[in-house]
Amino acid sequence: METKDIVKMIDHTALACDKTEAEISLLCQEALSNEFYSVCINAGHIPFAKQILENSNVKICTVVGFPLGATLSSVKAFEAAEAIKAGAQEVDMVINVGWVKSAQWDKVKADIDAVLNACGQVPLKVILETCLLSRDEIVRLCEICRELQVAFVKTSTGFSKGGATVEDVALMRSVVGRDIGVKASGGVRDFATALAMIEAGANRLGTSSGIAIAHGLQDNQAGY
């Protein structure tokens, strides 16, 4: 796999609530210069980022129901629709983990479906927050996402007690098959980890360490 192929899998991410416009501007400039797939930002920053990224190949990704996923489904759907109006080109939603833990699978499916419908043709990634889930819960969620034909399943918000693991990525890929994407997010901070996630089945990486990963790729191919 060539450097350019891996770099183009990166959603260059800045989701902390204290990010300034200067930091968002830098994030966008880094995405442009490194040819990352997208920037992943909170919706309030979309209009500003759109000005910088207009007429480029770097997409704008945003999050809804973030980071807890416990708000009303109607609110998540509205949030997604408004973000898309503002310029979001991909949407990452957080599931309602409490409903999963209560085995309220119909509610979980309806929650995802509401946001999926609000997204229309805009790709939806569904954040499972795998560190809080059992293996069986991950499998069932991936089955639901496969049934609904979402664009991606995603491991984590990066704001809970754990992030992506190779084992969870491999499990998710085994359930969703080849037609749905798998995004590894949370703790993907260096080249070795990024490569391990890709080898396990990830085809998108959510990380705030895109520059370090890109430099690691270059160093690795140069032999040092």
**92 flagged as catalytic:** yes
The answer to whether residues 154 and 94 touch, using CB atoms and an 8 Å cutoff, is no
Q: Which position among 59, 109, 154, 168 bears the catalytic label? A: 154
**Phi then psi dihedrals of residue 163, to 5 deg:** -120, -150
Tokens of 165: 């693991």
Instruction: With H, G, I as helix, E, B as strand and everything else as coil, classify residue 182.
Output: strand
Which of 11, 59, 76, 92 does the annotation list as catalytic? 92
Active site residue 125: no
**In this structure, which amino acid lies at residue 17?**
C
Strand partners, 182: 153
Bridge-partner residues for 10, per DSSP? 205
To which residue do tokens 């770097």 refer? 58
Distances (CA, A) of 223 to 4, 34, 144, 186, 188: 17, 20, 43, 27, 22
Q: Alpha helices, DSSP H only, in 59-208?
A: 73-86, 97-101, 105-119, 135-148, 166-176, 191-200
Catalytic residues: 92, 154, 183
